[in-house]
Amino acid sequence: MRQVVLDTETTGLDWRRGHRVIEIGCIEVVNRRVTGEQFQAHVNPHREVDPEAYAVHGLSNEFLRDQPDFSEIAQAWFAFVQGAELVIHNAEFDVGFLNAEIKLLPDPSKLLQDMCEIHDTLDLARRLHPGQRNSLDALSRRYGVDGRDRTHHGALLDAQILADVYLAMTGGQTTLHFEGSASARRGTTPTGPNIGEQTHSMARSPLVVPANENELLAHRDWLRRLGIETLEGES
């Protein structure tokens, strides 16, 4: 299964008032593995950034004036997300902004929900943790996910964090990070992997390897960090 974890940064809080997308960040996950393939683009919004939004993401008007229009990056972004399940935290916000951008294209394409299935991790978190804070920061702390340097929010950075949080929420952390990959450089658009090569071994019988004592101790420590008590002798 191919998923794309997505986040955006914007000039303000409401696309209905003319606010625009200024950054898109996407992380590819295939069969619960972060592949290292990613997409990032900054966008010229052709309007000023609200001071409150600038305080969050630190993307200045001067920086954004030198960035491409959304129409210039749209086809590369469409190619990256087409047919994937999109994993988004508070999807209504991001999808509203991205659909508003799509509608402004000279030749509007399908809306985002017509290109992709959309999975909202905020809805999932509310079902798993009713009555608790379920922001990305709160979930990162709850699941012990490294928040990295978040002096300012960024779409690609938040997508990376959300990928870790989502995998932890849905069955355990199984990400692979490729810090030195060429596609990790700011502003690059990678080509997609050969998905078939990653699924050729799925039909084989699984090899069961019992955990050793050190692994059992580490597992118990992880459960304690999650606030889950275990019975004596349980793994």
Residue-wise DSSP of 147-187: ----SS--HHHHHHHHHHHHHHHTT-------TT-GGGSTT
Judge whether 153 counts as a catalytic residue: yes
Beta bridge partners of 2: 30
Q: What is the CA radius of gyration of the chain?
A: 19
C-alpha count within 13 angstroms, C-beta hemisphere, residue 102: 17
- Six-digit token string for 89: 């935290």
Residue 6 corresponds to which tokens in the numbers above?
Answer: 């997505």
Task: Give the C-alpha separation, 13 to 52, whole Å.
Answer: 9
State the greatest distance between any 2 C-alpha atoms of the chain, in Å, as a whole number: 65
Residues 129, 153, 200, 219: which is the catalytic one?
153
Amino acid in the structure at residue 132:
Q
Phi then psi for 4, rounded to 5 degrees? -125, 120
CB 78 within 8 A of CB 109: yes
What is residue 190's three-state secondary structure?
coil
Residue 28's CB is within 10 A of a number of other CB atoms, namely 25
- Which residues are the active-site residues? 153
